[in-house]
Amino acid sequence: MRIKMDLSPDEVALIESRRKVAVFRSMKADAERLIADAGAKWATYSESTGMGLSFSEFCNCCDCFLPKQYRGSRKELFEAVKSMIAATEQYADRIAQETINGDGE
């Protein structure tokens, strides 16, 4: 049995606002996973082929796993993956250097 409730305009606005926030958070989480996944797939592809990270090569590679709704934003995805890889390499270099120097735990 459904109960009909009469909501005030403020209550309706609050509900709609919360729904928009929930959708935004969900879409953001999906995009974050996509970027991480694209970075991991690119790293695997790059290691197996020896290809460097260029936009054209990324586009050729990423179309294999990039959902159609994101293909219009390849450049932004490329930049995000490039930044993620640079940060990962910087961190990995530091960890490796600390290990070699005996500074690591």
pLDDT, tens digit, 9 for 90 and up, residues 61-71: 766 667 777 76
Task: Please report whether residue 4 resides in a domain.
Answer: no
Which is nearest to 58 in space by CA: 33, 38, 87? 38
Q: Is 63 helix (H, G, I), strand (E, B) or coil?
A: coil
Task: Please report whether residue 6 resides in a domain.
Answer: no
- pLDDT band at residue 16 using 50, 70 and 90 as cut-offs: very high
Number of structural domains in the chain: 1
Which residue would you say has higher pLDDT here, 88 or 5? 88
Which residue would you say has higher pLDDT here, 64 or 100? 100
- What is the extent of the structural domain holding 85? 14-101
Task: Please report whether residue 19 resides in a domain.
Answer: yes
* Predicted local confidence at residue 104, as pLDDT: 54
* Predicted local confidence at residue 51, as pLDDT: 82
Task: Please report whether residue 3 resides in a domain.
Answer: no
Say if residue 75 is exposed, middle or buried (CB neighbours under 10 Å; 0-12, 13-18, 19+).
exposed
Task: Please report whether residue 30 resides in a domain.
Answer: yes
